[in-house]
Amino acid sequence: MSRSPPIHVAVAVIVNSSNEVLISFRSANAHQGNKWEFPGGKVEESEGIVAAIRREIREELGLKIIKSEPFIEIRHHYHDKSVFLDVWKVSHYQGNAVGREGQEIEWRPISKLKAGDFPAANIEIIKKLQFI
């Protein structure tokens, strides 16, 4: 049985001056629901990764990204779908984060990120964050 192509997801690791990272809670009816995640979303057809991250973060959190850089690329296969997480670290932004889609959000110290709270595809992000 052949797998469908992975879903290309733009992911933002937004770090504040207190070395906390912004996370949001996935709704129960979402894929990998009832877990925390790093914000982002699907890259639209003919959209570049930087444009996708800026759009998703503006839509979801009301933040304007000023400076970001590639952080890690992750390919993960769940039992029902495959994802390609194109993860960028955001070091400068404008605005105050608000869960604009009704989602709970939280600034969490990097040292307090627990792999079990996140979808499996996010574990490599958490590991890499321990070294920044």
Please, which pLDDT band fits residue 125 given cuts at 50, 70 and 90? Answer: very high
pLDDT of residue 3: 65
pLDDT of residue 1: 44
For residues 99, 63, 72, 126, the Cα torsion angle rounded to the nearest 10 degrees is -40
* 47-50 contact pairs (CB < 8 A, 24+): 49/10, 49/86, 49/88, 50/88
Token pair 């994802």 is found at 83
Q: From 48, 132, 119, 29, select the one nearest 78 (Cα to Cα).
A: 119
pLDDT of residue 51: 97
Q: Average pLDDT over the chain, rounded to whole?
A: 93
Q: pLDDT tens digit string along 31-90? A: 777 899 999 999 999 999 999 999 999 999 999 999 999 999 999 999 889 999 999 999
Q: How many domains does the chain have?
A: 1
Q: What is the CATH number of the domain that holds 20?
A: 3.90.79.10
Q: Which two tokens stand for residue 107?
A: 């600034």
Cα 28 to Cα 7: distance, rounded to the nearest angstrom: 20
26, part of any domain: yes
Cα 8 to Cα 115: distance, rounded to the nearest angstrom: 22
1, part of any domain: no
Mean pLDDT of 20-34: 85
61, part of any domain: yes
pTM higher than 0.85: yes
pLDDT of residue 123: 94
Mean pLDDT of 100-122: 95
**List of E strands, the chain:** 7-14, 20-25, 36-37, 40-42, 64-77, 82-94, 105-109
Please, which pLDDT band fits residue 30 given cuts at 50, 70 and 90? Answer: confident
Please, which pLDDT band fits residue 27 given cuts at 50, 70 and 90? Answer: confident
Its domain, for residue 28, covers 7-129
